[in-house]
């Protein structure tokens, strides 16, 4: 749902009334309405008070629990038909913001390929003294970024191939960012054996895309680099995925989708932060030329890797991009990837795992995650897991042990960094099999709000 600010009362048959005190509630309702609401509000999250010609949806904000307020917003949004007026009678800026966030995030639809498309024209006119026009514009921009990330993940690979994805990324130039695309010949010149190796089984040539937002007076002297995994479809390669595990593999570019989307939000909001996004783009397919277990490839940093499992492909392409990030002398690198089933088994769809070498920013990211309810669990990088990456014929192998795969993958990436670094494995929350509150079935956009909150808290405010 799109929400815009109104200064005066708007005549409309559908109204949402938001309160945080019984005293204010009583002063704004008729005696009949108050009696209905006060009897129901204790057992229901909101009350629908409908009279001829009008509908009033009445909810109470929680003063401390912002996730409750988001879910309340989502529930109420489900009841809205078209246009409505939102009257904010609360004294809780954080609460109404979270409520609006939930209503707006819940309005997502991806039905462009259906013959009959549902209407998605819900709009809300907001009357509130708690929200400024500037804040509401920012919230709309953030939600737009989340929806963009969701759309990319939901697009089937026959519609969003490498060329189309690059075309969409190039459209970012309109908002003042620079875009550079390195294709096969450049990747070969840079000896990016990880990206090229994974791409061997694909029909389309791979790419490494660099997108940069550099304002005139950034707060950070050195850039922050975001690296996102862009595997547009993952068959598992010759270690082909079995059962139903391939059905969601268009989502294997979830990391690329969120780092690109958050950069777009940062640029549109003109935040004074120098940010660079690097995303390697390829598919992991089978055509008779693909990598096979036992192959040895040479990476961009000169290290050799024994490929023990072709379904551990994400770390191969991410490693080349992480090495490439060194040339920008970053103050921090954060990578995001749907990297391991191991991470999913730890968090399910409820959060992501994080590890890395920068404890200060790791704690800050976790704090940001709690604020927006995109939660992170830190995994310990114990040296025993690093030992499992040893190879008899190459510098390292790409698999490690079956146990602790999420940590093994993190240690593999650590071989390609020499700067402050954090790794977020979003395999769990990036894609859902069913809807939950304001999170849709399919791509969720998990990570956009997390990273944006992190940047605002630590590099702007």
pTM of structure: 0.95
- Name the active-site residue from 183, 184, 222, 241: 241
* Rounded Cα–Cα distance for residues 81 and 129 (Å): 25
* Rounded Cα–Cα distance for residues 461 and 457 (Å): 5
Task: Tell me how long the chain is.
Answer: 461
Residue linked to tokens 């994805």:
165
Predicted confidence at residue 366, as pLDDT, reads 98
User: Can you give the three-state secondary structure of 323-380, one letter per residue?
Assistant: HHHHHHCCCEEEEEECCCHHHHHHHCCCCEEEEECCHHHHHHHHHHHHHHCCCEEECC
CA neighbor of 54 nearest in space, from 27, 25, 85, 31? 85
* Rounded Cα–Cα distance for residues 28 and 115 (Å): 45
* Rounded Cα–Cα distance for residues 198 and 21 (Å): 58
Are the C-beta atoms of 315 and 398 separated by less than 8 Å? Answer: yes
Neighbours of 344 (CB within 10 A): 21
241 among known catalytic residues: yes
* Rounded Cα–Cα distance for residues 379 and 428 (Å): 15
Beta strands 54-60; 46-51: pairing state = antiparallel
Backbone angles phi, psi at 354, to 5 degrees: -140, 145
Angle at alpha carbon of residue 132, lines to 129 and 136, rounded to 5°: 120
DSSP category for residue 43: T
CA neighbor of 365 nearest in space, from 321, 332, 319? 332
Backbone angles phi, psi at 351, to 5 degrees: 175, -175
State whether residue 431 is helix, strand or coil. Answer: strand
315 among known catalytic residues: yes
Are the C-beta atoms of 14 and 84 separated by less than 8 Å? Answer: yes
Per-residue pLDDT tens listing for the chain (461 residues): 778 787 655 556 688 999 999 899 999 888 888 888 888 887 788 888 776 667 889 999 998 999 999 999 999 999 887 788 999 999 989 999 999 999 999 999 999 999 887 666 788 889 999 999 999 999 999 999 999 999 999 999 999 999 999 999 999 999 999 999 999 999 999 999 999 999 999 999 999 999 999 999 999 999 999 999 999 999 999 999 988 889 899 999 999 999 999 999 999 999 999 999 999 999 999 999 999 999 999 999 999 999 999 999 999 999 999 999 999 999 999 999 999 999 999 999 999 999 999 999 999 999 999 999 999 999 999 999 999 999 999 999 999 999 999 999 999 999 999 999 999 999 999 999 999 999 999 999 999 999 999 999 999 97
How much is the CA Rg of the chain, to the nearest whole Å?
24
Neighbours of 295 (CB within 10 A): 17
- The b-or-e profile of 300-315 (16+ CB within 10 A means b, else e) is bbebebbbbbbbbbbb
Tokens in use for 215? Answer: 């304002």
Residue linked to tokens 């009696």:
35
Predicted confidence at residue 8, as pLDDT, reads 57
Structural domains of the chain, with CATH: 2-129 (3.40.220.10), 142-460 (3.40.630.10)
Q: How far is CA 20 from CA 77, 131, 245, in A?
A: 19, 16, 45
**31 contacts: CB under 8 Å, gap ≥ 6:** none
Are the C-beta atoms of 191 and 281 separated by less than 8 Å? Answer: no
- Name the active-site residue from 148, 210, 315, 414: 315
Tokens in use for 256? Answer: 């690329």
Residue linked to tokens 């191991």:
342
E strand segments, 361-456: 376-378, 396-397, 421-425, 431-432, 442-443
Predicted confidence at residue 318, as pLDDT, reads 98
Q: Classify residue 289 as exposed, middle or buried by CB count within 10 Å of its CB (0-12, 13-18, 19+).
A: exposed
């Amino acid at each position: 749902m799109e929400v815009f600010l109104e200064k005066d009362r708007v005549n409309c048959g559908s109204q949402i009334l938001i309160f945080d005190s019984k005293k204010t509630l009583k002063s704004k309702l008729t005696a009949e309405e108050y009696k209905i609401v006060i009897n129901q509000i204790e057992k229901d999250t909101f009350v629908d008070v409908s009279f001829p010609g009008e509908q009033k949806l009445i909810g109470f904000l929680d003063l401390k629990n912002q996730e409750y307020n988001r879910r309340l917003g989502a529930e109420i949004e489900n009841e809205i038909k078209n246009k409505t007026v939102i009257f904010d009678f609360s004294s809780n800026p954080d609460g109404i913001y979270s409520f609006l966030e939930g209503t707006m995030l819940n309005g997502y639809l991806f039905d462009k390929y259906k013959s009959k498309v549902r209407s998605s024209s819900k709009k809300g006119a907001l009357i509130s003294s708690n929200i400024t026009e500037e804040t509401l514009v920012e919230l709309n921009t953030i939600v737009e970024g989340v929806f963009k990330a969701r759309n990319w993940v939901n697009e089937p690979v026959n519609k969003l191939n490498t060329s189309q994805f690059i075309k969409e990324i190039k459209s970012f130039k309109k908002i003042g960012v620079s875009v550079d695309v390195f294709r096969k010949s450049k990747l070969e010149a840079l000896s990016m054996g990880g990206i090229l190796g994974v791409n061997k089984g694909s029909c389309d040539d791979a790419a490494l895309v660099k997108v940069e937002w550099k304002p005139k007076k950034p707060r950070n002297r050195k850039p922050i680099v975001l690296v996102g995994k862009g595997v547009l479809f993952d068959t598992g390669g010759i270690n082909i995925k079995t059962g139903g595990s391939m059905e969601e593999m268009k989502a294997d570019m979830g990391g690329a989708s969120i780092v690109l989307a958050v950069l777009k939000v940062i640029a549109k909001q003109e935040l004074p932060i120098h940010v660079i996004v690097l995303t390697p783009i390829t598919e992991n397919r089978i055509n008779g030329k693909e990598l096979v277990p036992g192959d040895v490839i040479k990476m961009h940093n000169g290290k050799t890797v024994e490929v023990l499992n072709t379904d551990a492909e994400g770390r191969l392409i991410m490693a080349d991009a992480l090495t490439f990030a060194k040339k920008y002398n970053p103050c921090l690198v954060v990578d995001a990837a749907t990297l391991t089933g191991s991470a999913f088994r730890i968090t399910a769809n409820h959060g992501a795992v994080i590890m890395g070498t920068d404890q200060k920013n790791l704690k800050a990211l976790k704090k940001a995650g709690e604020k927006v309810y995109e939660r992170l669990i830190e995994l310990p990088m114990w040296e025993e897991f690093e030992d499992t990456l040893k190879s008899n014929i190459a510098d390292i192998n790409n698999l490690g042990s079956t146990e602790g795969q999420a940590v093994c993958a993190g240690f593999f990436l650590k071989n390609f960094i020499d700067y402050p670094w954090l790794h977020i494995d979003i395999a769990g929350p990036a894609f859902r099999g069913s809807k939950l509150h304001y999170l849709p079935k399919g791509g969720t956009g998990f990570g956009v709000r997390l990273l944006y909150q992190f940047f605002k808290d630590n590099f702007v405010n």
